[in-house]
Amino acid sequence: MRLQTYNKEEPKVDLTSLIDVVFLLLIFFMVSTTFERESVLKVDLPEASAVDEREELPETLELVIDDQGRMFLNNQRLLDSRAETIRAAMEQLAGERRDVPLILRADRQTPHHFVVTAMDVAAQIGFLNLSIATDRSTGNGE
Model pTM score: 0.54
- Enter the DSSP assignment of 123: H
| Residue 21 three-state SS | helix
Among 51-55, 63-67, 95-99, 128-132, which range has the highest average pLDDT? 63-67
Which pLDDT value is given to residue 22? 95
CB atoms within 10 A of CB 118: 23
Q: Look at residue 40 in the predicted model and tell me its pLDDT.
A: 61
Taking the C-alpha atoms of residue 101 and residue 54, their distance in angstroms, rounded to an integer, is 19
94 touches 100 (CB < 8 A): yes
CATH architecture classification, 61-132: 2-Layer Sandwich (3.30)
For position 128, what pLDDT does the model report?
A: 82
- State residue 138's pLDDT score: 47
Distance of CA 138 to the CA centre of its chain: 29
Residue 100 has a pLDDT of 86
Q: What is the reported pLDDT for 8?
A: 78
Q: What angle is formed at CA 102 by the lines to CA 99 and CA 103, rounded to 5 degrees? A: 150
Per-residue pLDDT averaged across 32-54, rounded?
64
Higher pLDDT, 136 or 104: 104
Query: Considering the chain, what is the average pLDDT of its residues?
Result: 80
Residue 122 makes CB contacts below 8 A (sequence gap 6+) with 90, 102, 104, 130
- Annotated domain spans of the chain: 61-132
58: nearest Cα among 131, 132, 119, 135: 131
* Angle, helix 83-94 to helix 112-125, in steps of 10 degrees: 50
- The share of the chain scoring above pLDDT 90, in percent, equals 20
Q: What percent of the chain has pLDDT over 70?
A: 75
The answer on pLDDT for 35 being more than 80 is no
